[in-house]
Amino acid sequence: MKLKQLFETKKCAFSLEVFPPKKNGGDPSTLYPALDEMKLLNPDYISVTYGAAGGPAGMSTVQIASHIKNVLGIEPLAHLTCINSEPEDVHKVLQALKEQGVQNVLALRGDRCPDAHPERSYQHASDLMQVIAQTGDFYMAGACYPEGHTESASLKEDIENLRYKVEAGAGHLVTQLFFDNTRYFRFINLLRKKGIALPVQAGVMPITTKRQIERTVSLTSASLPTEFTKMIARYGDDEQAMFDAGIDYAVRQIRDLIESGVDGIHLYAMNQPRVAKRVYEGIQDLLTEES
């Protein structure tokens, strides 16, 4: 099933995100037990980030996406990045996805690699989308940034650039993680004023360890509300208390989003079914109401 049907029929989609394992030689099958547990949460789809571990670039993503679809019976959304990939590699991954029956792709530029040859690759996610659209085989999703992409001069410029993804055929957008819902609502209002009407799933990552927040902020530059920083200061050095507080914060954040009419929740589960299960238990009643 192409995810277009999901957003046409469901008020609030619920999805999870996983990434190809890096340990054990990057063997994709080591993720399968976690996926078995996540299946019990009834996600509308599971996205798989683009991974180069364990073989040719992107093939671990293909293998995991195939398992999600053909073994678990859940729709996968396979990530595909382009900035560090040569066109022939992109086409190989697309062909492999097609052969496995995977119909949904999240097209991303990806992070720039110092050793890459940019002249050989697509420069923007919208460029990649145009290539994917030409195949006619895939539904495409795109990424967006409620607080602006780190390389954009302003949020306004970033929103203008989203038009290229819309024109290239994106069916819905998934946000980068954020911790302040007011930033998300402001972003949505700006999108709608600019005539961008695509469904936008809110990306939420439960922060359950102090080390996790330090790494996450350095990569995303997400702003931290006072309530969030107080939580870290109070519980950061107590492992169990920090875990519980982080789950509680994510649950309250998601409940506020759903009650405010969000198009969907995309949970960055970090391959941890325990985290995903705890969050799901805290929002299950609202998801049932919105189905």
Which amino acids are annotated catalytic?
Answer: 17
The β-bridge relationship of strands 13-18 and 45-48 is parallel
CA–CA dist 188, 191 (Å, integer): 5
Backbone angles phi and psi of 69, in degrees to 5: -80, -50
The set of long-range contacts for 122-128, using a CB threshold of 8 Å and a minimum separation of 24, is: 122/82, 122/83, 122/85, 122/87, 122/90, 123/82, 123/83, 124/164, 125/82, 125/165, 126/161, 126/164, 126/165, 126/167, 126/168, 127/82, 128/80, 128/81, 128/82, 128/90
What counts of helices (H) and strands (E) characterise the chain?
Answer: 11, 8
Cβ distance 179 to 224 under 8 Å? yes
